[in-house]
Amino acid sequence: MKGILKIAYKLLVNDKGKFAALLMGITFAVFLMIMMTSLFAGILHRSSATVLNVGAKIWVMDPAVNTAVNSIPMPDYVLDAVRSINGVNYAVPLYSGGALVKLRSGVYQSVTVLGLDDSSLFGRPELIEGKIDDIYAENAFVVVKDAEFPKLENPRIGTEFEINDHRGVIVGIARVTTSGLFGVPTLYTTYNRAITYIPSSRFTDAFILVDPKSNDAVPYIKQQVANLGYLALTKDEFIEKTSTFYKYKTGLGTNVLIMTVISFIVGLSISGQTFYTFILENLEKFGALKAIGAKGKELIFMILFQATFTALTGYGLGIGFASLLITIAKLRLPDYAALITYGNLGMALVMVVIIAGISSYIGVRKVLKIEPFDIFRG
């Protein structure tokens, strides 16, 4: 069989024009699919930045909440009720809200403020400069050094600013694993300072962060919170909910889905068409091979090999180009949210395999149908 494959390989690759067209079709399709889905994956990942960074195991929220950035504050009694649920180790409030900062240059910049529970500082970020205890000092804020950091004019420890007519001062610079989606810098402070500095509605608990005594307690906690009329989600569930929101309840997900389907169709038609022409042009030769004594399964093998080889080469090239472009884009735009996930790669592979499968199915049918007699008659 090795020799037969070598013949198949040479028939394919030596037809340079057609091979190039085939590769281009598949490469382009894979490239588009990976770009679209990676961009989307990046956005989804970013959209859960707060959930990932705070790191609580269970989040209690209003059932109407879709993402961590759009919270609906809950009345104070919920916190007490959650604290009294059996199996809750501790529960703390998290403040999350937007504010306007006036920088020293006089420029206004909107920010997200996260207020951490005063006694535990649960969900605090990792500091790369300063000490976390300084967050208790007067007017103290910790700034996150992410892609948005320069928008605050690259503050340092001691840098002062105004926040809603209150004085603020930077006491620490933090690092987080995931930066947010919305191009707004993030400040951390204590819960109590957040609610005093930032005008709020009557209720102030955006989320309640819960640490369960054990994983076994989680279903019970969820049940009890549900009885209160609120929703308790594990970290993964909350991320999932956020993703679902962006995937299905915003135009974003639909558009990405449409683009992915289009790239699949474009790839399928270019490569399917070209492969079909390739088979048609070689049909006589396949017929001659049949006459000479090649068996049906040997011809099928040749065609499958040609389709698979083209598909995988195009797949590799497509991934290569997509990674290259994403890498370059990330160098130029630190904010560029694209994430090549195994899921994306797997999905593109499945699509490529379908493209190769359909193409070779058509080819195989054609080739099996030719009568060597027709070739013989000329």
Partner 1 sequence: MAGLAVKAHELIKWFGEGEAKTYAVRGVSFEADFGEMFYIEGPSGSGKTTLLSLISGILRPNSGSVLVDDKDIWSMTSDQLADFRLNKVGFVFQDFHLFPRLTTAENVAIPLILKRRDWNESMNSAMEYLEIVGIKDRANLPPVKLSGGEQQRVAIARAIASSPDILIFDEPTASLDGDTGRRIVEFVKHNVLNEMRCIIIVTHDSRIFEYADRIMKMEDGRILGIEKGGPHEE
Residues in 152-181 that interact with partner 1 by CB under 8 A: none
Separation between Cα atoms, residue 369 and residue 261, nearest integer Å: 32
Shortest Cβ 41–partner 1 spacing (Å): 41
Query: 283: Cβ–Cβ under 8 A, 6 or more apart, which residues?
Result: 366, 367, 370
Binding residue for partner 1, selected from 6, 156, 166, 167, defined by CB under 8 A: 6
Q: HSE on the CB side for 282, CA within 13 Å?
A: 25
What is the C-alpha to C-alpha distance for residues 370 and 377, in angstroms, rounded to an integer? 13
Token representation of residue 126: 């990792």
Give the binding range for partner 1 (CB under 8 A) out of 52-60, 141-149, 159-167, 367-375: 367-375
The CA distance from 58 to 56, in Å, is 6
The answer to whether 2 contacts partner 1 (rule: CB under 8 A) is: yes
Write the CB contacts of 55 (distance below 8 Å, at least 6 apart in sequence): 123, 235
Nearest approach in angstroms of CB 289 to partner 1 is: 7
Stretch of residues binding partner 1 (CB under 8 A), selected from 5-13, 50-58, 148-156, 177-185: 5-13
Question: How many residues bind to partner 1 according to rule CB under 8 A?
Answer: 30
Q: Looking at 219, 296, 343, 346, which residue binds partner 1 (CB under 8 A)?
A: 296
**Does 373 help bind partner 1 (rule: CB under 8 A)?**
yes
Residue identified by tokens 């180790």 is: 89
Among 105, 158, 293, 342, which residue interacts with partner 1 (rule: CB under 8 A)? 293
What letter would DSSP give residue 347?
H
Residue 17 binds partner 1, judged by CB under 8 A: no
- The two three-digit tokens of residue 210, written as one number: 């819960």
Residue (19 or 40) nearer to partner 1, CB: 19
The reply to whether 375 sits near partner 1 by the rule CB under 8 A is yes
Residue with smaller CB distance to partner 1, 160 or 371: 371
Of 109-117, 151-159, 178-186, 292-300, the segment contacting partner 1 by CB under 8 A is 292-300
Q: Looking at 14-150, list the stretches that DSSP marks H as alpha helix, in order from N- to C-terminal side.
A: 16-47, 49-54, 76-83
Close Cβ partners of 104 (under 8 Å, ≥ 6 residues apart): 153, 159, 160, 161
- Please, what sign has the CA dihedral across residues 190, 191, 192, 193? positive
* C-beta separation of 209 from 221 below 8 A: no
Shorter beta-carbon distance to partner 1: residue 11 or 259: 11
CB nearer partner 1, residue 19 or residue 315: 19
CB atoms inside a 10 Å sphere around CB 66:
17
CB nearer partner 1, residue 16 or residue 202: 16
Using the minimum distance from each CB to partner 1, give the nearer residue, 10 or 156.
Answer: 10
Interaction pattern, residues 252-291, with partner 1; x per rule: CB under 8 A = --------------------------------xx-xxxxx
* Interaction residues for partner 1, span 336-355 (CB under 8 A): none
Residue 369 sits in the site that holds partner 1 (CB under 8 A) = no
Name the one range near partner 1 by CB under 8 A: 4-12, 110-118, 155-163, 314-322.
Answer: 4-12
Residues 6+ away with beta carbon under 8 Å from 281: 18
CB of 177 to partner 1, least distance (A): 53
d(CA 180, CA 12): 48
Do 274 and 307 form a contact (C-beta atoms < 8 A)? no
Q: Rounded CA gap, 7 and 4, in Å?
A: 5
Scanning 43-51, 164-172, 244-252, 369-377 for contacts with partner 1 by CB under 8 A, the matching segment is 369-377
The answer to the question of residue 294 lying near partner 1 (CB under 8 A) is yes
DSSP helix/strand/coil, 99 = strand
- Give the residue, chosen from 3, 106, 199, 251, that forms a contact with partner 1 under the rule CB under 8 A: 3
Is residue 295 within the footprint of partner 1 (CB under 8 A)?
A: yes
Residue 7 lies near partner 1 (rule: CB under 8 A): yes
Task: Check: CB of residue 110 under 8 Å from CB of residue 101.
Answer: yes
Binding region for partner 1 (CB under 8 A): 1-4, 6-7, 10-11, 14-15, 284-285, 287-296, 298, 371-373, 375-378
